[in-house]
Amino acid sequence: MSVTEHIILIGSILLTGVLSMAFYGKVKKLSKVLLAFSGAFLVSITFLHLFPIIYHSDNHSIGIWVIAGFFGQLFLEQFSSGVEHGHSHIHSHQNSNVLIMQVMFGLTIHSFVEGLSLGGFEMHGHEHDHHSHLLSEDVNPLLVGIVLHHVPAAFALMMVFASSLVSKWKILLCLTIFAIMPSLGALTVIHFNFDQEVILMILAFVSGSFLHVATTILFETDNTNHKIPYKTLLAALSGVLLSLLTV
């Protein structure tokens, strides 16, 4: 992974955190549209990039890892209250310190594992040079997917903090931990030169987790009676179109 990619990954989260402190209302509106966009993009890159790699392999029980990722994410959301899909289903009577520890626990594991897949995807790409990107040779679609859903997640995290009485430096610390986790995961895989078998399992696990996050996002967009507002629908459609550019 290049330095620029790490900067994008970390910078986008820190920037969102700071901006949402300053412009709460505006960011909230934007966040909804971005969520639908990111959900559609995530589910699309899973089908376009991750599934072909996973199901092309000789490991016939690899699907178990997809299931593990799907339900593993469901398990993590018991702690994080859904922050990683851009929501905070939180009741204000909870003790704020315990709450923040819980949220950070779920969120840290989630972003570290996604980071592992970032590094794994890149290493897999070097071994099998079968990618032909319309968008750009160098764009890692997983990186785009992670940034797109972590920006609303950073906003949701700030909302959790807003309803608690936590000091500013603690907020900044949590935001930074969340921001650097994907980079840390990616560097771990590359530094320790993970085995291709293990990388495959990670990619399968993260596909499952992406599917969970993306479908939750799309189901939770305010679609009363299965009627999604046209703005949200348009955002989702744009997400799919952008993903097609990475094929």
Residues forming the site for Zn ion (CB under 5 A): 82, 87, 114, 220
- In this structure, the chain runs to a length of 247
Tokens of 183: 């980079």
Nearest residue to the partner Zn ion, using Cβ = 87
In whole angstroms, what is the distance from residue 245 CA to residue 159 CA?
A: 33
Q: How far is the CB of 15 from Zn ion (least distance, A)?
A: 17
How many C-beta atoms surround the C-beta of residue 57 within 10 A? 15
| Least distance between Zn ion and beta carbon 132 (Å) | 26
What's the min distance (Å) between Cβ of 129 and Zn ion? Answer: 27
Helix/strand/coil for 39: helix
Of 197 and 222, CB closest to Zn ion: 222
**Shortest distance, CB of residue 102 to Zn ion, whole angstroms?**
15
DSSP code for 86 = T
What values do phi and psi take at 95, rounded to 5?
A: -65, 125
Residue number with CB closer to Zn ion (178 or 194): 178
Closer to Zn ion by Cβ: residue 20 or 108: 108
Torsion of CA 221, 87, 164, 22, to 10 degrees: -70
Shortest Cβ 83–Zn ion spacing (Å)? 9
Nearer to Zn ion, 29 or 128 (CB): 29
Nearer to Zn ion, 62 or 146 (CB): 146
Where do runs of H (alpha helix) occur along 57-193?
Answer: 63-80, 96-127, 141-162, 168-191
